[in-house]
Chains A and B, each alone.
With several copies, the nearest count.
Chain A
Amino acid sequence: QQIRIVVVSHGQAADPFWSVVKNGVDQAAKDMNVRVEYRAPETFDMVRMAQLIDAAVASRPNAIVVSIPDAKALERSITAAVKAGIPVVSMNSGSDVAEKLGVLVHVGQTEYEAGLGAGKRMKAAGVKNAICINQEVGNVALDLRCKGFFDGLGTKPNVIPVKIGDPTGIKNAVAAALQKDPTIDGVLTLGPTAAEPVLQAIEGKKLVFGTFDLSPAVLKALSEKKMAFAIDQQQWLQGYLPIVILANYVRYGLLPANNVILTGPGFVTPENAAQVIDLSKKGIR
């Protein structure tokens, strides 16, 4: 009987970040010769996520992988899985609560810390007044990135909400913000869907621009020095490792001793961008 693992994450299938996670999952499934089903709600929706986990439990898989953006909301479903004797590994978010919920291992990075790192980096670059572009207000993971960013920078929060499906709207909103307040000297985006339009909006302006997560265009901009940095959580690993860990756990009962495995934050800068470009095209970074 082939091992069957269900992955439930809070990020949509369409999101570039999460599509890399899924690529890692799929690769691990192939490498470990296990069957993996990946499930996610259409939007950031804890109710749906809890329901998906419940459905996963009902389908009696050998193991479950979850992300935990809101521990309270998912607590019941996750503990139910644990109680049912299904091994659970968490990924991406939830490092602080994983152990309490009975999760075996957490693979990921805390959003807040990553944001904090970005803020500190900008501060070091001399940024005094920055904006954070949020393409999905209400998604707690993105909220935390912005929050950490401004804490690290030590300035008052200034978040520009934009619509994820509207590149021109994003570009022009940033252009408008820069026009309104010319003292802005730093921009942080929370994903490549926002980063690419923003690249156009800041063309020819002297400011520090960083983003979360990679895409071919982001890496190209980095190597052309149009950007200062991109924060890479190496989310491929967040998909890959849990499957490997669980496959070995189910088969042989083996488990790493360290119950939090950090995959990031890693910073990609103009200096090391070139080597990542190829991987990014393959959907690994």
Chain B
Amino acid sequence: MAVRTQDERLRPISLWQRLLLRPELGSIAGLVVVFGFFAIAAGGSGFLTWAGTRNYLEVAAQLGILAAAVALLMIGGEFDLSVGSMIGVAAVMMAILSHPDYGGLPISLSLVITLGFALLIGYFNGWLVLRTGLPSFIVTLAMMFILSGANIGFTKLITKLTIVSGLGDSLAKDPLSFLFTGAFLGLPAAVWWWLGVTLVLSWVLLRTPFGNWIFGAGGDPTAARNVGVPVRRVKITLFMLTAAAATVVAAIQVMGLGSANVLQGMGKELEAVAASVIGGCLLSGGYGSVIGAGIGALILAIVQQGIVYTNIDLDWFKVMVGGMILGAVILNNYLRKLSMQVRR
């Protein structure tokens, strides 16, 4: 930050307030409260142990990888409701391609093929949205139907089932699968992927020209185009990125489990959006943070997994999840407003 000359039109402002102005930092308060709640309510039953921590981190990781890409897309002013079914498509495709009875390919090769296909779908999503000028909400809603439908259709055509299991052996042989299923420093690979994806994308957003374009394309596409931002290219790239993130999540799930089913990933699209919003992204685009989306994913995962450790009757599971989400965003919002009333 440049040296600031003091200006009589500025009242003093603390570092703390400056921090809270960052889009993601409000959500940390939500995280603290949610974590605190479960530490108290469920600390005794294993929530605070290493195993418990790993448990929710793993869930957070998968959502977080997705949310990082979805957050970028949201900042870029678009939505992708098809990302959940993309996970299912990628998972099943990868599984069928490597399954000894069908494709029989090494898993690394099928990962590459699947990734290529996912990028194609992402490109198509973006192309369609920009070509038609239709809202991405409705285009990707239709794509969600098409993808999950085609997934069922093809899978049944090939395997007669909607589940592809029994990959175990072909996985064990492939060294690449360690990249998705291994562990490092006691944490599963997914968590490292999460960290990596979040940091890289956050860096892209904040430190590269492309990041600036994302903000521009989301904030006001007309204005951005008028000053020379290649809005089309930016948005298409973001759609492709989102599809790629879905493939990574699918790879982690398939290689971890040795099986895939067509329902995989269902509903993840809304969870990823929720994580991004909790983390400070605006639904209207042009504002948000990748780190925030990561924190949002962590909050959701802690709520989801933490409840199992408490004594709450699980019939009320969803009420708790909803209440916690609401509490977290309200708190986050309130704190941000409290510390800084700059914007209307």
Contacts and interface: CB of A to CB of B under 8 A. Distances in A.
Interface of A: 6, 13-16, 19-20, 22-23, 35, 37-40, 42-47, 50-52, 54-60, 70-76, 137-140, 143-144, 147, 159-161, 163-169, 171-173, 175-177, 179-181, 192-193, 196-197, 200, 215-217, 220, 281-283
B314 A140 contact: no
A60 B42 CA distance: 12
Contact of B167 (A23, A72, A159): A72
Contacts of B262: 14, 137-138
Contact of B253 (A44, A159, A168): A168
Given A16-B261, A137-B152, A58 B49 contact: yes
Nearest to B62: A168
B263 A139 contact: yes
26 contacts: A13-B317, A39-B317, A50-B256, A58-B54, A59-B42, A73-B258, A76-B258, A138-B262, A143-B162, A143-B163, A160-B308, A164-B266, A165-B87, A165-B263, A165-B265, A169-B305, A171-B257, A172-B56, A172-B58, A176-B55, A176-B305, A179-B45, A180-B42, A180-B309, A192-B165, A216-B166
Contacts of B54: 58
Nearest to B315: A13
B188 to A, nearest CB: 10
Contacts, number: 241
A192 B318 CA distance: 23
B161 A283 contact: yes
Nearest to B313: A38
**A-side binding surface: helix, strand, loop or mixed?**
helix
Contacts of A181: 45
A167 to B, nearest CB: 5
Nearest to A12: B263
A75 B264 CA distance: 17
Interface residues of B, number: 55
B148 interface: yes
Given A160-B308, A165-B266, A140 B259 contact: no
B162 A14 contact: yes
A83 B196 CA distance: 32
B311 A137 contact: no
A281 B267 CA distance: 28
Interface in B256-280: 256-259, 261-268
Interface string B128-158: 0000000000000000000010011000100
Given A73-B258, A165-B268, A179-B46, A143 B305 contact: no
B263 A281 contact: no
B101 interface: yes
B168 A283 contact: no
A192 B263 CA distance: 12
A37 B167 CA distance: 32
B26 interface: no
Contact of B308 (A60, A72, A137, A177): A177
A103 B163 CA distance: 23
Given A59-B308, A168-B62, A200-B257, A180 B46 contact: yes
B211 interface: no
B123 interface: no
Interface in B15-52: 42, 45-47, 49, 51-52
Interface in B235-288: 252-253, 256-259, 261-268
Contacts of B166: 72, 216-217, 220
Nearest to A4: B45
Contacts of A46: 257, 259, 261, 264
Contacts of B101: 281
A35 B267 contact: no
Nearest to B257: A73
A23 B317 CA distance: 16
Nearest to B153: A13
A171 B56 CA distance: 11
Query: 9 closest A-B pairs (Cβ-Cβ)?
Result: A165-B266, A283-B160, A217-B165, A72-B165, A138-B263, A58-B51, A59-B46, A72-B259, A176-B308
B304 interface: yes
Given A140-B162, A283-B159, A179 B257 contact: no
A167 B264 contact: yes
B59 interface: yes
A73 B314 contact: no
Contacts of A73: 165, 257-259, 261
B268 A140 contact: no
B106 interface: no
Contact of B258 (A75, A164, A176): A75
- Residue from B51, B59, B259 whose CB has the most chain A CB atoms within 10 Å: B259
B308 A55 contact: yes
- Residue from B165, B167, B266, B304 whose CB has the most chain A CB atoms within 10 Å: B165
Contact of A161 (B55, B58, B265, B314): B314
A42 B271 CA distance: 12
B266 A43 contact: yes
A59 B306 CA distance: 10
Contacts of B261: 14, 16, 44-46, 70, 73, 138, 140, 167, 192-193
Interface in B75-89: 84, 87-88
- Residue from A6, A44, A57, A137 whose CB has the most chain B CB atoms within 10 Å: A137
Given A14-B151, A19-B156, A168-B59, 9 more contacts: A13-B162, A19-B161, A60-B46, A73-B261, A163-B267, A165-B267, A168-B62, A176-B305, A282-B160
Given A38-B313, A51-B55, A55-B55, A196 B267 contact: no
A174 to B, nearest CB: 9
A219 to B, nearest CB: 9
